[in-house]
Structure 1
């Protein structure tokens, strides 16, 4: 697409062919845009090229108040947007050169055949425990992982070191999480910007058609440490044990054993129905359970288990969850926050849960986690 550049101010033209010839020569300067027509392919940057001279200003707007940021090349001949053209959008290009001449152009992009969307944790304005990662689960496959990861930015109030890592969620969907090198420091403020509008997920995934963002704050440093051998949970705040709770965890050996390793308190669900058939344990139980707090997607909880009272502190005899008295469970439910680390150690577990079965990335070393980044495994600092 070419558009004539016209002088902003008019000089008085003298009579005679030479003056008209000079004016015509000035008006023939033009720009070209890499995207043309009304069905241009989205998902790539916009490039504006000046036929002669140097660009001084380029603005690409979408008619809804949005603009594509971009930069003029060192030689002044081209401008390239930092963001991709979004699907189903009308764009106007306004360009100006160093002689204050201007030109305009317009184009539209084709609508997306398929749209990809994101489920984001944590939610805006939340307060989370020191183990909580940023977690993004995608509706559709993401083959262009590096392109997507480039558009994700984590900013923290204290320059926390961290990295994105890709893996499969428990649902089987693609997922990318941002984990700090170590547990968060209490009081850290976190902002996440996902500049995904116009990014192509790759084959079978479709385009993203909007940006996303979230922000959250890290609360008290509280860790729930379960010792399977001692049959106790120590609640540790700022390095000090504030309560030691007798528990009965999963029955050693087989499917009813508890998971071990480092996990994270995912949700506080309160009173819920627990049916053993939903987690592949036959008809072992079907009951309403109070003060329930989820640790894995596969059904490991911390909760009240008054029916197991004789076993607390003495025997691990549950179907995989960490049970305790009503009074202890009520206290813990009121004290704990989503994102608190749940660290399970000792004998008789069934090993570590898969990384996507909740938040299992803390079981990986820092180098192992960084290697899951799509950007050459490089750490992403915020």
Structure 2
């Protein structure tokens, strides 16, 4: 009898062990040994401890293409992360050394759907997985911007940085926040038209310095459903410090290098007796250099007049150029239609020395600065210039 009793006890114990090894969840799915069957939890399934989360979240819409995709795990370590587009191409990214975070390292595309596949192993040695997809914003319009000066340009000390848009952005502050100027010079952005924002230093650029600019506009919400089409960058060099000064009543154009007078040329400026023909006051810049230029002004009765060594200083119509035909007046009287006339040899000498962006300071005129010019950055004093920024 004692031996039979012991045998029954052994059978009972074996049956209990078998029941623990093959317990099932409430939906009838078999759970592995050591799995979610837990007598301390009333037989209810126990979730794995690791949790995977993602930004953008699964099923997110209109995700920002510029913000990185971030996949994170708590109470575990990531073993695999893939983010792929509809063509199966993987988004580049890096897993942190501690295995807790994966972050993308390239921008996303507009109007695309991306799929997550992330795996991790928890502190309880149980695997977890994240799957799903999200969609990025699809702009109503993508707006292209251009940046000036161009790469490797060599420019004068008054040269502004200009960002121009094909369409006027509504959110100007968002644009400015996406722009970066790498320089030690103090300066600020200012909107000089609905489609153009310029950066100029408070004072002229320090000579012989290198400037880098980043316009990180891709993914920037410009307002009204428009987004930036692409990033634009440039790296350029400031040249020697050359400043041109003309006090119109003196009939002399002086050129200063490093603050010291280097050249002095006799000149003839705009006709004094007609304000509309005056060479206007203001700080201009050399905008372009043209070995020959054709001048037309039907209002004053001349067309197809060819002149040499022409440096444009305003879109209002003013140039510094040769006018040997006016030699009798040069250095003696002002009789031009607004341009600064020089003798042929002097015009060539100045032309050869000039850089785009050199400042030309005109004083003594009755005509004030032509605000219609699209290069008018230096017409503003510093305090007024700063009010043109959209970032307050």
Following superposition, the deviation at residue 251 of structure 1 comes to 1.5
Following superposition, the deviation at residue 243 of structure 1 comes to 0.9
Per-residue CA distance 1:227-261 (angstroms, 9 max, x = gap): 20101110100111111011111112332221211
* Structure 1 gap segments, 5+ residues each: 1-12, 70-76, 377-382
Tell which structure's C-alpha radius of gyration is larger: 2
CA distance in 2, matches of 1:375, 1:59: 39
Q: Does 1:147 align with 2:174?
A: yes
Q: Does 1:319 align with 2:342?
A: no
TM-score (norm 1): 0.77
CA distance in 1, matches of 2:253, 2:45: 87
Q: CA 1:48/1:289 → structure 2, altered by over 3 Å: closer, same or farther?
A: same
Does the Cα contact within 8 Å between 1:61 and 1:68 map onto a contact in 2?
no
Following superposition, the deviation at residue 337 of structure 1 comes to 0.5
Q: Does 1:136 align with 2:163?
A: yes
CA distance in 2, matches of 1:145, 1:55: 43
Q: Within 5 A, what are the aligned runs for 1:1-382?
A: 14=33, 17-18=36-37, 24-26=47-49, 29-31=52-54, 33-34=56-57, 36=59, 40=62, 45=67, 87-89=110-112, 91=114, 103=130, 105-109=132-136, 111-156=138-183, 159-168=184-193, 173-203=194-224, 206-252=226-272, 253-277=274-298, 281-348=299-366, 350-354=367-371, 357-376=373-392
Following superposition, the deviation at residue 290 of structure 1 comes to 1.2
CA distance in 1, matches of 2:304, 2:118: 68
SS of the equivalent of 1:255 reads helix
Root mean square deviation of aligned Cα: 3.9
Does 1 or 2 have the higher relative contact order (CA < 8 Å, sep 6+)?
Answer: 1
**Deviates further, 234-243 or 284-293:** 284-293
TM-score (norm 2): 0.75
Aligned residues: 345
SS of the equivalent of 2:176 reads helix
SS of the equivalent of 1:233 reads strand
* Structure 2 gap segments, 5+ residues each: 1-31, 95-99
Does the Cα contact within 8 Å between 1:223 and 1:236 map onto a contact in 2?
yes
Q: CA 1:53/1:166 → structure 2, altered by over 3 Å: closer, same or farther?
A: farther
